[in-house]
Amino acid sequence: MRLFAIELKEVLSNKTVKILKPSNVSLSDVNNPMKATKESEQYREIRAGIFLSGLSVFAQLYLFQPLLPQLCHSYHISPASSAWTVSGSTLGMALGLFVFSFRADTYSRKRLMTFSLITSSLLTICSALVPHFELLVIINTIKGFLLSGVSAVALAYLAEEVSPAILGQAIALYLSGNAIGGMSGRMLVTLFSGWFGWHNAVIIIGVLSLMLGILFVIKLPPSQHFIPEPVDIKRKINQMSSFMHNLIMIRIFLAATLFMGAFVAVYNYLGFRLESPPFSLPHYIVASVFLMYTIGVVGTIAAGRLSDKIAPTKLIKISLLFLSIGIISLLTGNLAVLVLGLGVMTLGFFATHTLASKIISQTAKEGKSSATSIYWLFYYAGSSIIGTSTGMILSSYGWSFLIYSLFLISLIAMALIWRIKQPTTPTVTRN
């Protein structure tokens, strides 16, 4: 069972979905009648519950991204300042995932996820009612921290409760909930804000998220196999410290900060571009542009499958090239070319993220979860720092200079990983 859990963590960090080989799991685990099987009512309930959790988390996490122009008008702030609503959420998520990497295995899986979903939904509703922008940022930061409680234990729950024969399917459903949540949250809030104003739009999303949380509580069965485990904090810290002396990991960590920051910056400020000349698009058209986010699913799946045949250190250079080409194409004044470029950039980003995660997993000979935690910390730090600071470039110099800056950031990320060699496939050790 321990070997299986370690391999699952690698699957999670890779963001690929595949059925694990029976040889990697003990016979007792496979034959355990208490584990949910494909045709069981228990599995149907788990499938529904875990999908709802992913949907709620990512709908809330990037909720304010399409609303930045409205926030600027409502609070009389700059685009860079408005981006703190998104950066606060992702910074909270980063800190939460880091904290939960030490403590998550001591809490009940369902109770932690339930607490995260319900409290974050209530905070989302409250965020529409606050009079001061600074308070809005604080609320979003706390919300991001709470949402990390779901991401920290969702796949561990699946590993414990679902039969290994269908675990890949269960993971796929959870990840699809993440992707659909990220897309639908952006689209719905854009549409609702155009019809009812951004305050009411946020309340609607918060209420919908609360309903998803309640359905989650009803649908998801309690843990049957979870056993609280003490955490050796000193060992965790020593593992993390050793990773900061590994050149491959340092390059990937820094590159993750850059390519995540560039990606988030584009989606943060895209609304400003689309609502201004030469496009001057209505809100319902702007909402439809966010459909390009779903192309990321294609990038994730394609990168995952290809990396089983081709070294991810080679593929990541190609995916970063796609990211860079997509970014620079956003300079265009042609809407069709811009949308196409956005799709190329999104494809490249998700592929890069998948491949970077796999390289981290392959490089970490032990302490894979610790290595992944550091990666997430740098990843979301990039979202917070670059995603916000580049707003000052937009305010001072305009869209073109912003895109040139993000293009340069993507090239620096490419330079960081260019000389990385494929790490030796590690042996499985205790995490």
Domain residue ranges of the chain, discontinuous segments joined by +: 1-231, 233-431
- Quick one: average pLDDT of 94-114? 84
- 233-431 matches 1-231 in CATH topology: yes
pLDDT at 13: 42
pLDDT at 69: 92
Exposure of 189 in the CB half-sphere (CA atoms within 13 A): 34
Closest CA to 56 of 219, 200, 271, 262: 219
Task: Give me the phi and psi of 162, to 5 degrees please.
Answer: -110, 140
pLDDT at 182: 83
What is the per-residue pLDDT across 407-417, written as a single tens digit (0 to 9) for each? Answer: 999 999 999 99
- Quick one: average pLDDT of 95-113? 83
Q: What is the pTM for the complete model shown?
A: 0.80
- Quick one: average pLDDT of 394-423? 91
Between these two residues, 423 and 202, which has the higher pLDDT value? 202
Give me 250's structure tokens. Answer: 């340092």
pLDDT band at 2 (very low <50, low <70, confident <90, very high): very low
- Quick one: average pLDDT of 278-291? 87
> Given 3-state DSSP classes, what are the helix, strand and coil percentages for the chain, each rounded to the nearest 5?
80, 0, 20
pLDDT band at 422 (very low <50, low <70, confident <90, very high): low
Give the whole-angstrom CA distance, residue 380 versus residue 257: 7
Residue with tokens 């029976």: 22
pLDDT at 253: 94
What is the per-residue pLDDT across 204-258, written as a single tens digit (0 to 9) for each? Answer: 999 999 999 999 999 898 888 877 777 777 877 887 888 888 899 999 999 999 9
Task: Give me the phi and psi of 234, to 5 degrees please.
Answer: -60, -40
What SS3 class is residue 279? coil
Task: Classify burial at 412, counting beta carbons within 10 Å of its beta carbon; exposed 0-12, middle 13-18, buried 19 or more.
Answer: middle
Q: Over the range 59-97, which residues count as b (16 or more CB within 10 Å of their CB) and which as e?
A: bbbbbbbbbbbbbbeebebebbbbbbbbbbbbbbbbbbb
pLDDT at 318: 95
Does residue 423 surpass a pLDDT of 50? yes
What SS3 class is residue 163? coil
Exposure of 184 in the CB half-sphere (CA atoms within 13 A): 17
pLDDT at 260: 94
- Quick one: average pLDDT of 393-420? 94
Please give the class, per CATH, of domain 1-231.
mainly alpha
For a pLDDT cut of 70, what percent of the chain falls above it?
87
Does residue 426 surpass a pLDDT of 50? no
pLDDT at 341: 96
pLDDT at 23: 38
What SS3 class is residue 140? helix
Greatest mean pLDDT range, 18-32, 313-327, 380-394? 313-327
Give me 65's structure tokens. Answer: 């991204």
Residue with tokens 């302490």: 367
Lowest mean pLDDT among 19-23, 251-255, 302-306: 19-23
pLDDT at 9: 42
pLDDT at 311: 87
pLDDT at 161: 85
Under the phi-then-psi rule, with left for phi > 0, alpha for psi from -120 to 50, and beta for the rest, what region is 229? beta
- Quick one: average pLDDT of 394-409? 95
pLDDT band at 168 (very low <50, low <70, confident <90, very high): low
For every residue of 222-267, DSSP letters joined together read PPSS-------HHHHHHHHHHHTT-HHHHHHHHHHHHHHHHHHHHH
pLDDT band at 72 (very low <50, low <70, confident <90, very high): very high
pLDDT at 243: 85
Does residue 364 surpass a pLDDT of 50? yes
Give the whole-angstrom CA distance, residue 378 versus residue 98: 10
pLDDT at 101: 77
CATH architecture, range 233-431: Up-down Bundle (1.20)
DSSP 36: B
Lowest mean pLDDT among 186-190, 255-259, 352-356, 366-370: 366-370
DSSP 162: B
Give the whole-angstrom CA distance, residue 23 versus residue 318: 33
Mean pLDDT, the chain, rounded, equals 84
